[in-house]
Amino acid sequence: MEIQSKISDKRARMTVSCNIDRAWPLGRRILASLAALCLMPAASLSAQTPQGAGAADVLHQLNKSIEALVRRVSPSVVQIVVTGYRSTEQNNRGQADVVIGRERAIGSGVIVDPKGYIVTNAHVLTGAQQIEVIVPSPGTASAPPDADARGKSYQARVIGITREIDLAVLKIDANGLPAIPIRASVLPSQGEMVFAFGSPEGLRNTVTMGVISSVARQPDPDSPLVYVQTDTPINPGNSGGPLVDADGGLLGINTFILSTSGGNQGLGFAIPAGELSFAYPQLLKYGHIHQPEIGAIIQTITPELAAGLRLQKDAGVIVLDVVPGGPADTAGLRIQDIILSVDGTPAGNLPMFTHSLYLHGSGERAQIEVLRGANRLQLNVPLVERPHKADSLVDTADPVKNLVGPLGVLGIELNLDLARDLPDLRIPTGVIVAAKTLGAEDGDVPLETGDVIHALNGTSITTLAGLRDGLAALKPGDAVALLVERFGQLIYVSFLR
């Protein structure tokens, strides 16, 4: 609403002009009344008439609708406090000294399963030695400012993490928690009203309001990741918190901002719910994601390539190679096919093509439109999961030879070849947990598949024999501290023998 005032010597006139560019989904009655409010003469706004009372009622309805939304969503938004150690450089008389200090970082998360599963950003957990999750107390959203609204604190463990998409799943030991549904079936709309929840600058239980500025923004042209852009105020500490629609559905995970000052400038970005719905089940099952593939190599078209091959287009993406007998080959994709779109979405560059595949799971099919010579063809191409190296470890483990009984795991010694195949491995030696044995989940050893054991009570571990001997030397009730590499981070796993 835009208000212009024109003032003369002894008379004042006010003209009111209203412009509603998009209907926000908060109910037809509210929209109809807002439209009536815009058409109402300015003089009647201050008059005590039934029309004026009706306009006030509309504002009250809008206010109550937003309050109800906040009360419904806030109990599902958690604060994440990460503590760990990080090395920094300090300049001391012209010399750079490396100083290792304890660091505390604050982020946000959202409960997506009543059994205690929480989604946040992977970068929130960087360097984490300990992860504390603070769940709001019931009624926190409407509590007075001086109330003790800290909530209940839980220690969380990482269930899965993918730095490619910047998502992570945490688990806390709680049940019956309020969860937010993931809105993946309905695509966002430009101009749609949205709300960001989180802990900006550590201020818990904060909500801001805005609209979707763009439904698919690609800040990095070399990255396949596409984000929802919003003008909703987002600041450091909001990372990992939910971006929700007017119905309280999870539309995205707030991830980063573009800013010259470090604070909000109206350029916020969230991971879309579509990518979250793709990644979340895999993070639960595997601890990482399996990227979908079609069995083909795709390359960006350059003007020189287009001229040399006499292509119909001098931009876009082209099929460089097709795996014999693979999904793309079976579906009829051929070398030098120019890919125009995937499921109706233009594939103008390699990142956009890759992003379109990210939205599919294994066994699903993608409708790929290609340009072959002067002909346009529609191909129905199945997708398969690209195997992750860590998943094949259990196939090489012997249930007897690789058993580490006291830990309830099957372990495999790392060698240089295996270390090269495992992504983000920081130390190329140790014993990797290939699988947990039957009944291990009920034990007291908090190891996870994919963990790499580097040390036992300060003693370096490089072989299965060394790990078994170290455990055998301990008495029942002795403390055990395992130095473990998990998701590219070094942590201690401790328990009693």
> How big, in percent rounded to 5, are the helix, strand and coil portions of the chain?
25, 35, 40
**DSSP secondary structure string for all residues of 21-43:** -S--SS-HHHHHHHHHHHHS-HH
Name every residue whose Cβ is closer than 8 Å to that of residue 52 and which is 6 or more positions away in sequence. Answer: 44, 45, 46
User: Could you say which DSSP state residue 182 is in?
Assistant: B
For residue 77, what are the β-bridge partners? 110
Whole-angstrom distance between the N-terminal and C-terminal Cα of the chain?
68
Distance CA 255, CA 239 (A): 5
| CA pair distance 102, 62, nearest whole angstrom | 46
CA angle 165-111-218, nearest 5°? Answer: 25
Element (H, E) at 418: helix 416-421
Q: How far apart are CA 177 and CA 118, in angstroms?
A: 10
Record the tokens describing residue 246, joined without a space: 């007017």
Q: Compute the distance between CA of residue 170 and CA of residue 181 in angstroms, rounded to an integer.
A: 17
What pairs with residue 366 in β-bridges? 381
**Taking a C-beta distance cutoff of 8 angstroms, is the pair 167, 121 a contact?**
yes
Give the residue numbers annotated as catalytic, written as ranges.
123, 166, 239
Those residues with Cβ within 8 angstroms of residue 102's Cβ, 6 or more apart along the chain or in another chain = 83, 84, 85
Q: What phi and psi, each to the nearest 5 degrees, are found at residue 148?
A: -80, 95
